[in-house]
A and B are shown apart, each in its own frame.
Chain A
Amino acid sequence: MSDWSDEAVDDAVRDWAEGRAAPAADSAAFVAAVEARRAARSRRRTFVVGLVAAGLLTALLGLVLATSQGDEPVAPVVREAPAVAETAPPQELLEGPAGHEVLWPEIRYGTPTLGSGEESTLAARDRVVADLGDDRIAVEGTVGYTAIRSSRARGVRTVLRLESGRLAAQVASRAEGGSFTVIAGEVSVRVLGTRFSVERGDAETIVTVEEGTVSVRVGGPTGPEDVTVAAGQRLRWPTDGAPGLDSDPRSPRVSDRRPRPARGVPAARRVEDHTSTELLALLTPAPLPTPPAPPEPEPEPEPRVVPPPQPALPNLLAGYRAQMIVGEVAEARAALEALAVDHPDDVAVLSLLSFAQRKDGAPLAAAETLLRAAAVDPAQEGRFVYDAASLFDAADQPGRVVDLLAPRVSRQTIPGALLPDARLRLGRAQLATGAEDAGRATLEELTRAHPGTSAAASALALLNEGEDSL
């Protein structure tokens, strides 16, 4: 009996569709455009549709998260050649003796929407990892970018505009004439060969440097200032305040250093955790001209794996991911279970283990692993618990669903995007366990709080069904 009822399939399609939704557009401009178009048509001019290299979305079909040491992707990554827009004044962007080559992002992981033209936009609801030439970026939010390689091998000029959200980047060293710049509002970051992240929120903009050194230009009270941010440091730029330079307490080199204020600005506040470090972790090493990393350990035949030194753990996990690609799910799962014994508090290990358990046909084990991860990582607790509850829901265990979701839904500790669906599952589970009133209340709250969502529609159907049967 399939897990996937008609309704579940439709749900999955709706969920997918949410990732392919258009932003709001300006009506006045639209009407003017249509009018112009109509006039042009009536003058019998040929109407050419401008096309977009966002056909790169087809690259999603063959995605593999690259393993470390820049291994070749296993599945073919499909890319359409960018087409030239012909309705606007033509911009020749083809490679040639005197021309430039526009670098389009090669999506490694995630579901983005891409804009068009020489200056493009990458927007990601969840996280996207993409290569722009030899650089790698991880994005959660909206980024406008231009990456152009001059054909005289003068290096790649890349400009990224962080409109909102977070961006982490791993930047390759450049030839003379190249540059890599990130602009986030009033802050602009210029780098050569580093790993860093920029986070832009309503209250502040934060630049964290993991490797190398970056130069950050900020608009200070007395004009633009250049602040150097080195590895292990973080610059915070509150929207209404002066920037301050902190040392990242996580970096072992600077753990006992007190925060140093930037030149002429007051001392900064204590550094808090940010998910920018998670984004940085998504940047597995791109093929950079650096000394080779240690080789991947081979999978052991015995269940017990000797724990590798700390820096090699991501390599190990990448290896297990690769194993699962080629179908050795059971072996990878066994190895990960052993690994989890030695690293019981490592969220990445638990996450990947639960994925392996799910793939290996053990959804209940996967759910329990997710709950372990939730206990270890309070920042992601809501999300982990929701995913565990989804697994229990699919495995027909409404009691567990209620136990897990009821307190978190009422306290709203589930991430907002997942809340409608969480409410739906909770409501259904409550009905299934005989808690009619609670279930109806949950579903009614869902329709009030999230009108117009597919979850609300399902809730309405359930509520009506209940009334019909009375």
Chain B
Amino acid sequence: MTRLASGDISALGPLHGRYARMVTSLLLRLDPARGLAQAEDLTQEVFLTLMDTAGRYREQQRLKAWLCGIAARTSRGAKSRFWRRRGLLAREGGTPGMAAPTLGAVDERLDARRKVAQALETLPPSQREVMILHAVEGLTGEEIAAALGMKANAVWVRLSRARATLRKELER
């Protein structure tokens, strides 16, 4: 990271190798409607931001958590840019009461996945971010707080709210 801070772009290669897939996957998950191409595109932006802000990075933090923070901010920024540019109205979500029947109990995992996707879609962005960073990326509460710029307490409050919404949906 010190090389990056001094403008040495060749340092990007190994960082990409280690973290790009995680960042792209995270971007895909933070916005359920996002496609792979947009996520890859935003990944480039994330690493660009990483380069620009490399000077501020402190050794004590986990680089992964730092990147997650950048990714979360980039993800939010991209979303509002998209809507502003396209001038589209908010999407209608699927009707929450509809549990689509599947081909059988073997596909209950798909059933649960779809419910999770549905529930995540309805969460406010900060709750969704906290949920994914905690459950999927395995960041600690302190790391999430630092990454998203909120107090540690706020992280737990949002996490429990997110879980409550998901639980309600999964119990249907």
Interface residues of A (CB under 8 A from B): 2-4, 6, 9-10, 12-17, 19-25, 27-28, 30-31, 33-35, 37-38, 41, 49-55, 57-58, 60-65, 74-76, 78, 80, 83, 85, 87, 109-111, 113-117, 126, 282, 321-322, 324-325, 348, 350-352, 354-355, 358-359, 366, 369-370, 373, 380, 383-384, 387, 457
B20: Cβ under 8 A from any A Cβ: yes
Q: Name B66-116 residues within 8 Å CB distance of A.
A: 78, 81-82, 86, 88, 91-95, 98-110, 112-116
In the complex, the chain B residue whose C-beta lies closest to that of A30 is B16
With A111-B114, A115-B36, A116-B37 known as contacts, the answer to whether A64 contacts B166 (CB < 8 A) is no
- Nearest-CB distance from B31 to chain A (Å)? 9
Q: Binding site of A, secondary structure by majority: helix, strand, loop or mixed?
A: helix
Asked whether B105 lies within 8 Å of A387 as measured between CB atoms, the reply is: yes
The interface residues of chain B lying within 8 Å CB-to-CB of A25 are 16, 20-21, 24, 40, 43
In the assembly, what is the distance between CA of A351 and CA of B86, in Å?
Answer: 44
Interface size of B by CB at 8 A reads 73
Asked whether A325 lies within 8 Å of B101 as measured between CB atoms, the reply is: yes
In the complex, the chain A residue whose C-beta lies closest to that of B95 is A75
Asked whether A22 lies within 8 Å of B39 as measured between CB atoms, the reply is: yes
B152: Cβ under 8 A from any A Cβ: no
- Nearest-CB distance from A431 to chain B (Å)? 23
In the assembly, what is the distance between CA of A110 and CA of B100, in Å?
Answer: 11
In the assembly, what is the distance between CA of A24 and CA of B28, in Å?
Answer: 14
Asked whether A6 lies within 8 Å of B163 as measured between CB atoms, the reply is: yes
Choose one: B39, B88, B102, B114; the contact of A355 (CB below 8 Å). B102
Asked whether A49 lies within 8 Å of B41 as measured between CB atoms, the reply is: yes
In the assembly, what is the distance between CA of A25 and CA of B108, in Å?
Answer: 31
Q: Name B122-172 residues within 8 Å CB distance of A.
A: 131-132, 134-136, 138, 163, 166-167, 170-171
Choose one: A31, A55, A387; the contact of B16 (CB below 8 Å). A31
Kindly name the residue among B51, B94, B100 whose own CB sees the greatest number of chain A CB atoms within 10 A: B100
Asked whether B40 lies within 8 Å of A58 as measured between CB atoms, the reply is: no
The interface residues of chain B lying within 8 Å CB-to-CB of A366 are 105
Q: Name B1-52 residues within 8 Å CB distance of A.
A: 9-10, 12-14, 16-17, 20-21, 24-25, 28-29, 32-45, 47-48, 51
With A2-B171, A25-B24, A61-B94 known as contacts, the answer to whether A383 contacts B13 (CB < 8 A) is no
Interface residues of B (CB under 8 A from A): 9-10, 12-14, 16-17, 20-21, 24-25, 28-29, 32-45, 47-48, 51, 78, 81-82, 86, 88, 91-95, 98-110, 112-118, 120-121, 131-132, 134-136, 138, 163, 166-167, 170-171
The interface residues of chain A lying within 8 Å CB-to-CB of B98 are 62, 64, 74-75, 325
The interface residues of chain A lying within 8 Å CB-to-CB of B103 are 65, 282, 348, 351-352, 355
In the assembly, what is the distance between CA of A85 and CA of B38, in Å?
Answer: 10
In the assembly, what is the distance between CA of A370 and CA of B107, in Å?
Answer: 12
The interface residues of chain B lying within 8 Å CB-to-CB of A51 are 35, 37-38, 82
In the assembly, what is the distance between CA of A28 and CA of B16, in Å?
Answer: 9
In the assembly, what is the distance between CA of A126 and CA of B44, in Å?
Answer: 29
Choose one: B17, B29, B105, B163; the contact of A358 (CB below 8 Å). B105
Kindly name the residue among B86, B107, B132, B135 whose own CB sees the greatest number of chain A CB atoms within 10 A: B135
Asked whether A54 lies within 8 Å of B138 as measured between CB atoms, the reply is: no
Asked whether A21 lies within 8 Å of B37 as measured between CB atoms, the reply is: no
A-B residue pairs in contact (CB < 8 Å), sample of 7 = A52-B36, A60-B94, A62-B94, A63-B114, A65-B100, A65-B102, A111-B110
In the assembly, what is the distance between CA of A14 and CA of B43, in Å?
Answer: 21
In the assembly, what is the distance between CA of A51 and CA of B88, in Å?
Answer: 14
Choose one: A6, A115, A126, A354; the contact of B104 (CB below 8 Å). A354
Asked whether B32 lies within 8 Å of A22 as measured between CB atoms, the reply is: no
In the complex, the chain A residue whose C-beta lies closest to that of B163 is A9
With A30-B20, A35-B9 known as contacts, the answer to whether A54 contacts B36 (CB < 8 A) is yes
In the assembly, what is the distance between CA of A117 and CA of B14, in Å?
Answer: 29
Choose one: B48, B78, B170; the contact of A12 (CB below 8 Å). B170
In the complex, the chain B residue whose C-beta lies closest to that of A47 is B45
Asked whether B37 lies within 8 Å of A52 as measured between CB atoms, the reply is: yes
Asked whether B109 lies within 8 Å of A15 as measured between CB atoms, the reply is: yes
Kindly name the residue among A15, A61, A322, A370 whose own CB sees the greatest number of chain B CB atoms within 10 A: A61
In the assembly, what is the distance between CA of A331 and CA of B94, in Å?
Answer: 25
Asked whether A22 lies within 8 Å of B121 as measured between CB atoms, the reply is: no
Asked whether B40 lies within 8 Å of A114 as measured between CB atoms, the reply is: no
- Nearest-CB distance from B153 to chain A (Å)? 17
In the assembly, what is the distance between CA of A63 and CA of B100, in Å?
Answer: 6
